[in-house]
């Protein structure tokens, strides 16, 4: 058992379940993720600098940036289920990396958490506008999990692709 940090569409239970159904995974969000807690990742900035063909717009990525935070969900996950995440993210699109996060409720630092970052040669220099639907997934879950208001406002300022 380890930890996984979701900051994009993997925070959304319905979206995740739909992907699993469409790809014959036979797993559900609540079967894979346990002990879900809001958390923050320091020294990274949320960017939409990868264009996803399947989403028809920009999708979430994290980029190094001092003193900036990305908010997401810290979840317990079995190692075998990380394979589902790796497949969903696309092995040639996102690399698994290890990070440290802090829980929002009590500020406990959790080391060696797995997350995914777009491979460098696929990162665009500029952001690719996400679709309204994709950005709404992030905003809806940011509200649901009570991320800070200034982060929700930050998400709302992104231009979307109509």
pLDDT band at 161 (very low <50, low <70, confident <90, very high): confident
When pLDDT is averaged across residues 54-72 and rounded to a whole number, the result is 96
Among residues 39, 117, 104, which one has the least CA distance to residue 76?
39
Could you tell me the residue range of the domain that residue 51 belongs to? 2-156
pLDDT of residue 35: 96
Cβ contact 142:46 at 8 Å: no
Q: Establish if 161 belongs to a structural domain.
A: no
pLDDT tens, 84-116? 999 999 878 999 999 999 999 999 999 999 999
Average pLDDT, the chain: 95
Q: Establish if 80 belongs to a structural domain.
A: yes
pLDDT tens, 4-39? 999 999 999 999 999 999 999 888 899 999 999 999
pLDDT of residue 94: 94
CATH, residue 103: 3.10.490.10
Q: Establish if 162 belongs to a structural domain.
A: no
Q: How many domains does the chain have?
A: 1
- Quick one: residue 90, left, alpha or beta (phi over 0 = left, psi -120 to 50 = alpha)? left
pLDDT tens, 144-160? 999 999 999 999 999 99
């Amino acid at each position: 058992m380890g930890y996984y940090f979701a900051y994009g569409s993997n925070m959304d239970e319905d979206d995740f379940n739909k992907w699993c159904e469409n790809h014959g995974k036979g797993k559900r969000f609540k079967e894979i993720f346990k002990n879900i807690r809001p958390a923050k990742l320091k020294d990274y900035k949320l960017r939409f600098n990868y264009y996803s063909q399947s989403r028809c717009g920009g999708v979430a990525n994290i980029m190094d940036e001092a003193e900036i935070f990305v908010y997401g969900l810290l979840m317990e996950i079995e190692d075998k289920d990380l394979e589902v995440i790796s497949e969903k993210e696309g092995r040639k699109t996102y690399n698994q990396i290890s990070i440290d996060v802090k829980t929002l409720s009590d500020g406990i630092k959790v080391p060696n958490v797995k997350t995914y970052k777009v491979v460098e040669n696929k990162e665009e220099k500029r952001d690719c506008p996400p679709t309204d639907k994709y950005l709404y997934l992030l905003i809806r879950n940011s509200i649901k999990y009570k991320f800070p208001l200034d982060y929700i406002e930050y998400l709302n300022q992104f231009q979307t692709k109509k």
